[in-house]
Structure 1
Amino acid sequence: MKRIATVVLAGALMMSGCSLAPTYKRPGSVTAENWSSVQENASEADQGLASDIPWRSFFQSPALQQVVETALANNRDLKTAALNVQKTQALYRIERSKLLPEINAAGTGEYRKDFGGNTAETYTAGLAMPAYELDLFGRVDNLSQVALNNYLATEEARKSITISLIAQAANAYLQLTSDMETLTLSRESLETRHQTYELVDKSYRNGVATRQDLSQARIALESARVNTVLYTRLVQLDKNALVLILGTRNLEGIPMTANLEKSAVMDEIPVGLSSEVLLSRPDILQAEFSLKAAGANIGAARAAFYPRIALTGSLGYSSTDLGDLFSSSDAGAWGLGPSISIPIFNGGRNKALLKAAKIDQEIAVVNYEKTLQVAFKEVADALAARETLGRQLEAQDMLVQASQEAYDLSLRRYTEGVDSFLSVLDAQRSLFASQTTLIDLQRQELANRVSLYKVLGGGLEDQAKASS
């Protein structure tokens, strides 16, 4: 028995470190295909990384800072992600523990009496090692690597949810502020059109304005009333959406101002671009860890074709007298026994498991490549939007000024009896449309900054400091 145990242990030492998992190699074709298209829209003058900017520095207005802080503290999706991390960490510890032998303390007492009246007592106490698998072919270690990479993937998923939540909370607040500003504009337009209607009504009573002028003024008034009701509803829906994201019962304590320029101050985003910028995004790292887990699972499936050797052992005392259990020199005993299991026939189960593991790896490769493609598209879209939104905002601002001048001129010409009321209505509609478009473009430009901050991995710097 000693000889067998010695041979087994020697074999274990010789085979230790043997792994049947394929060597990991990061897929690189998608990176090379997409990187040039992203760099076309990146300014060479830009320096630094968005991922290095804490969100408290990026969101410079106290209102946005409070919104993001509240969301990070209360959002249910983020809490679920954190719990999933704890769960996968525990599962990894379970698999990792299998690399070490399990030792238990045990004690027994037995009393027997045969039909002849003879009695016998047996007492034992000691340590026992249940079947401990010698991981000759890396099965247990690969399963541990699967659990480790699943844990790391879940941690990256939590980071990805954090980044998305920061952007989601900021965009929800921007939408609310934008609609509040448009609601204020609608109310001002309603008041203006009400004054215009009274002016036309007075002119009609004096025989200056026509019945058609009065009808057109009434249409403009009711149209403004419809817009006011519409944006009143949108503001309430925006508040409900923000409450859900923040995970609070209401928006009490959240500063709200119907002015995007004052309540949504943000820093400019430096776009220091290299392939490593995107490869370090949490969603891409999550896909990569999942790919590594699939590779380790292949190693575990391959190991199932090879023998499994386990050791059982015990060390303790055994005596027929409880008083002599620990004092008698003859009571000590130990044992060590190996066991071997060789797969001979299982109906093709091991082959099917290996095939499934290889297919899982292929799926993980495809998912990794798709995640990369999505990341490149997100960055390219955000950069392209940044290039045009600034110029569009300048042009829209000039359009608002021109529309205001046209409205003032048409109203003056109408009151002087030079022009028809129809020109006033057209100028009113153009002015309101240009003003609402300007507000929406301002929101889009700010949302683009948030999007660029998100797709470049910004938002984790504060979290890293908080956890360190």
Structure 2
Amino acid sequence: MRRLLLVMLLTTTACSMTPRRTLPAPPVDHAYPVVDGTEALPEWRGMFGDPRLQRLIALSLDSNRDLRIAALNAEATYAQLRVQRTQALPGANAEGNYTRQRQPSSVAGAGVGLAPGGSATGFEFGQFAAQVALTSFELDLFGRVRAMNAAALQRWLASVEARRAVRLAVIGAVAEAYWTERLAEEQLFLARATLEDWQASLEITRLRRAAGQASGDDLEQAEGQARQARADLAQRERERVQATNALTLAVGAPLPADLPSALSLLDQPVRTALAAGAPSDLLMRRPDIAQAEHELRAANADIGAARAAFFPRASLTGAFGFASLALDSLFRGASRSWSYTPAISVPIFRGGELRGNLDLAKLRASSAVAAYEKAIQTGFREVADGLAAQSTYAAQLTEQRAAVVATERRTALAAMAYAAGQTSRIELLDAQRTTYAARQATLLARRDQLAAAAALYRALGGDVREKATR
């Protein structure tokens, strides 16, 4: 018992070779180019209000394969942490065995202690043994095991942050894929309606040509317009199928048949105005930055383990039990046996391995510092881009909608002028094409505005943090 207490005392008073690590200052400005107020980010259901989209996001959080892989990686890293933690604890094994052997008399002494069945040339005997053995337990005098434990803990925490980052990316990817699918669906609807209008215009032109009220050029223009509309319809059908496939992949499962009815792009209840706060908020919000910080701390702990490898390594192996030639007397007091073997190992020559490991650990720590700073710079850039988009898309969409109204009015006037014979068919054709393009551009701008809002939400770190507890 005294020896065990001495071991525990030596372990707890061990020194540490791990260098102190101060996180570098964020290599970004103290403010964003576009400044907004501060407020808490909404939970993703509060961010994306479309019930159909909410259902798809909830399904993706259970089915997406990237998220499943990230979760399994986090579990695997935690298992590695548990394995590493056992290195700081002594291992005990209960053992029992029976040995039967024959010894020649020249080894054991002829005629001395012969067991039944022995002879003048040797003897046979059996031995029973039972003991509790303490496996080789390292006395962590220089903190090598503690440094390895610290590195394993930080890598598990990094894997948890990686899972959060993937979860946030999945939410954003599903939202963007959904809006792209909505864009394709609405552009397809617009293409069909346009084809119907232009096909009707073609039929009217044919009747006017038969009555001698339209020229052959007018008929050719109307036919070309209808053919272009059919080509555009085929393109929109292809884009709709591809967008649905992309949405299915983002969700990670077939789309349910009982989804709520979809809302139009222009009616999507999405928060397109988000407050960014200060750049320092990213250090607490973004899981990728937190992941880089944990990787940095793990690399720093690796330096401590590499340094400690230069110093002597002490270990202890012991056993206590019973040994007897007869089973019925095995557990008697006279049959007790014990042993302990303290050992110390001092590195003398390793061919530069220890120095190489230390240099490698230092280089990896320097690389981790650069990765941490890069994560901060990337986050700052993404937020700055998102704020710039947030401040401009609203004005762009307002003007785009006004442009649609203007082109529709121009098309109506051109149609009346053409019917009255005051203008040529080409002017009406140009007005119709302009209106069609303006409507398509409005849908595209709205999709881009929604995607920019989702990107800013993701850049700010979202509201998807989970506690890393076990």
TM-score, length basis structure 1: 0.92
Letter in 2 for 1:454: R
What residue is the counterpart of 1:48 in the other structure?
39
Instruction: Give CA-to-partner distance per residue, 1:305-337, whole Å, 9 cap, x none.
Output: 0000000111111222211111x2212233222
How far, CA to CA, are the matches of 1:62 and 1:34 in structure 2?
A: 39
Mapped partners of 1:69, 1:438: distance in 2: 29
* Matched residue type, 2:95: A
Q: Given that residues 63 and 254 in structure 1 are in contact (C-alpha distance below 8 angstroms), is that contact kept between their aligned partners in structure 2? A: yes
Deviation at 1:283, TM superposition (A): 0.3
Deviations 1:18-72 (A, max 9, x none): 1111112111141xx3333x2x3122xx33122xx21112211211101101111
Which amino acid is the alignment partner of residue 394 of structure 1?
A: T
Q: Which residue of structure 1 lines up, in the alignment, with residue 100 of structure 2? A: 111
- Map of 1:261 onto structure 2: 266
Match of 2:233 in 1: 228
Q: CA deviation at 1:17?
A: 4.0
Please tell me whether residue 35 in structure 1 is matched to residue 26 in structure 2: no
Task: Name the SS for the 1:120 alignment partner.
Answer: strand
Q: Specify the SS of the correspondent of 1:253.
A: coil
SS in structure 2 of the partner of residue 266 of structure 1: coil
Amino acid paired to 1:384 = A
2:357 aligned with 1:353, yes or no?
Answer: yes
What amino acid does structure 1 have at the position aligned with 2:20? Answer: T
Per-residue Cα deviation, 1:387-428 (whole angstroms, up to 9, x for no partner): 110000111011000000000000000001111111101101
1:219, distance to aligned residue in structure 2 (A):
1.1
| Aligned twin of 1:80 | 69
Alpha-carbon distance between aligned partners in 2 of 1:29 and 1:390, rounded to the nearest angstrom: 31
Per the alignment, do residues 212 and 11 of structure 1 end up closer, same or farther by CA in structure 2, a change over 3 Å counting?
Answer: same
Corresponding position: 1:387 with 2:391: yes
Instruction: Give the stretch that moved more between structures: 299-308 or 194-203.
Output: 194-203
Once residues 447 and 467 of structure 2 are traced to their aligned partners in structure 1, the CA distance between those partners, rounded to angstroms, is 29
User: Kindly tell me: are residues 139 and 158 of structure 1, through their superposed partners in 2, closer, same or farther at Cα, counting changes over 3 Å?
Assistant: same
Are the equivalent residues in 1 in contact too, given 2:383–2:459 (CA < 8 A)? yes
Sort the Cα spacing of 1:314 and 1:383 in 2 relative to 1 into closer, same or farther, 3 A. Answer: same
From 322, 336, 341, the equivalent of 2:340 is 336
| Structure 1 pair 384–7 and aligned structure 2 pair: CA distance change class (3 A) | closer
Does structure 1 retain, via aligned residues, the 8 Å contact 2:272–2:449?
A: no
Residue aligning to 1:244: 249
Does structure 1 retain, via aligned residues, the 8 Å contact 2:410–2:431? Answer: yes
Query: What letter is aligned with 1:266?
Result: V
Contact 1:103 1:127 in 2 (8 A): yes
Q: Are the equivalent residues in 1 in contact too, given 2:306–2:358 (CA < 8 A)?
A: yes
| Aligned position for 1:277 | 281
Matches within 5 A, 1:418-437: 418-437=422-441
Q: Could you say which residue in structure 2 is the equivalent of 1:412?
A: 416
Q: Which runs of structure 2 are paired with 1:15-414 in the superposition (5 Å)?
A: 16-30=13-27, 33-36=28-31, 38=32, 40-43=33-36, 46-50=37-41, 53-115=42-104, 116-255=121-260, 257=262, 259-262=264-267, 264-280=268-284, 281-326=286-331, 328-414=332-418
In the other structure, the counterpart of 1:441 is 445
Provide the secondary structure at the position in 2 that maps to 1:151.
helix
Q: Which runs of 5+ in 2 are unaligned?
A: 105-120
CA contact (8 A) 2:88 2:146 kept: yes
| CA distance in structure 2 between the aligned counterparts of 1:84 and 1:436, rounded to whole angstroms | 43
Offset at residue 117 of structure 1 (A): 4.1
Deviations 1:255-294 (A, max 9, x none): 46472134x3223543141244211210001111111110
Structure 2 contact 133–318 (Cα < 8 Å) conserved: yes
Determine if contact 1:78/1:158 at 8 Å carries over to the other structure.
yes
Q: Secondary structure in 2 aligned to 1:114? A: strand
For residue 10 of structure 2, the aligned residue among 9, 12, 18 is: 12
Q: CA RMSD in A?
A: 2.2
Q: Aligned pair in 2 of structure 1 residues 10, 162: CA closer, same or farther (>3 Å)?
A: closer
Shift of 1:453: 1.2
Is the Cα–Cα contact under 8 Å of residues 386 and 445 in structure 1 kept in the other structure? yes
CA distance in 2, matches of 1:440, 1:95: 53
| 2:452 paired with 1:454 | no
Shift of the 180–258 alpha-carbon distance from structure 1 to 2, 3 Å rule, reads farther
TM-score, scaled relative to structure 2: 0.92
SS in 1 for 2:88: coil
Work out whether residues 174 and 443 of structure 1, in 8 Å CA contact, stay in contact via their aligned partners in 2. Answer: yes
Matches of 2:263 and 2:227, distance apart in 1: 23
- Partner AA of 2:103 in structure 1: D
